[in-house]
Amino acid sequence: MKLKIIPAVLTLLSPICLFAQSNPLAVAAKDYTMAVAWQQHSGEYRALCFQAYNFARLSLTEQLKSADTIKPKCVIVDIDETVLDNSPFQGYELKKGVSYDLKDWTDWTGKAAADTVPGALNFLKYAGSQKVETFYVSNRSEPEYKATLKNLQHFGFPDADEAHLMVKSTTSDKEPRRQKIMEKYTILLLCGDNLSDFSNVFYREGKDTKAEVGKAMEDFGSRFIVLPNPMYGDWEKLLYKGEHLDEMEKSKQRTEGLKAY
């Protein structure tokens, strides 16, 4: 009788043992699972990307009618979640039990394996056909430069060369890079998934940008084209109080910050 009871008890206890052995930080990191799954599997994500780039095409066509003809014309695009889709990296991190690891990120970008964001390539090729150049202004680091170019060139993105790719050197604030482009070009529109991709007023650390968005409401869909990115962004920083928080504490503060009734 005892020989029959012991295996049965062990069978019942095994899920409890596994749960006890699981990493609570990994459990907290899985808060992001639905966001990554939505980006990878929903038709709505694709539809929003197409919608954004359809608006970009209409806006560019309209702005070309009255654009300054003295300087050459350009559009500025961010890279990650704007023209390249990094959701496989996010999926890898979740399965590993973390939300972000810098070494994993550089390993991923080094593969030059990111797919395109829906609608991005067609829009930028259209811009090129209208004699509008594309500048890629990214906060990827300098060691990622060559692999980033390789990834863009693999799909035939226009102006994917050293003259048009600008990565982070000393600051993640993109305004100095935008100003450098403005010295020689007329910028017709900007595409990005993060508000700081558009203007310096959205960059300030710890600032609630919703009020600034309201002030610039007429620019969205015309000069500013926003791509959906539920996986990460500067907006998340506003949810946290304190420094050097682990995944458990971040998860706790995310939950506490939710509006409810």
Residue 204 confidence (pLDDT): 66
Rounded distance between C-alpha atoms, residue 141 and residue 3, angstroms = 61
pLDDT in tens, 99-118: 899 999 999 999 999 999 99
Q: What is the mean pLDDT of residues 188-215?
A: 87
Please provide the CATH number assigned to the domain covering 23-256.
3.40.50.1000
Q: Which of 130, 159, 134, 136 is nearest to 58 (CA)?
A: 130
Please answer whether residues 191 and 56 qualify as being in contact, where contact means their C-beta atoms are separated by less than 8 angstroms. Answer: yes
Residue 9 confidence (pLDDT): 40
Residue 209 confidence (pLDDT): 82
Residue 207 confidence (pLDDT): 66
Q: What is the mean pLDDT of residues 38-42?
A: 98
**Residue 21's CB: how many other CB atoms inside 10 A?**
7
Q: Where are the domains of the chain?
A: 23-256
pLDDT at 81 over 80: yes
Please answer whether residues 117 and 85 qualify as being in contact, where contact means their C-beta atoms are separated by less than 8 angstroms. Answer: yes
Q: Strand, helix or coil at 76?
A: strand
CB crowding 38-50: b at 16 or more within 10 Å, else e: ebeeeeebeebbb
pLDDT at 29 over 90: no
Cα atoms found within 13 Å of the Cα of residue 259, Cβ hemisphere only = 0
pLDDT in tens, 175-190: 999 999 999 999 999 9
Please give the model's pTM, rounded to 2 decimal places.
0.89
Q: Strand, helix or coil at 116?
A: strand
pLDDT at 98 over 70: yes
Q: Which residues lie closer than 8 Å to 86 by C-beta, 6 or more apart?
A: 80, 108, 114
pLDDT in tens, 215-241: 999 999 999 999 999 999 988 888 899
**Residue 178's CB: how many other CB atoms inside 10 A?**
19
Residue 12 confidence (pLDDT): 41
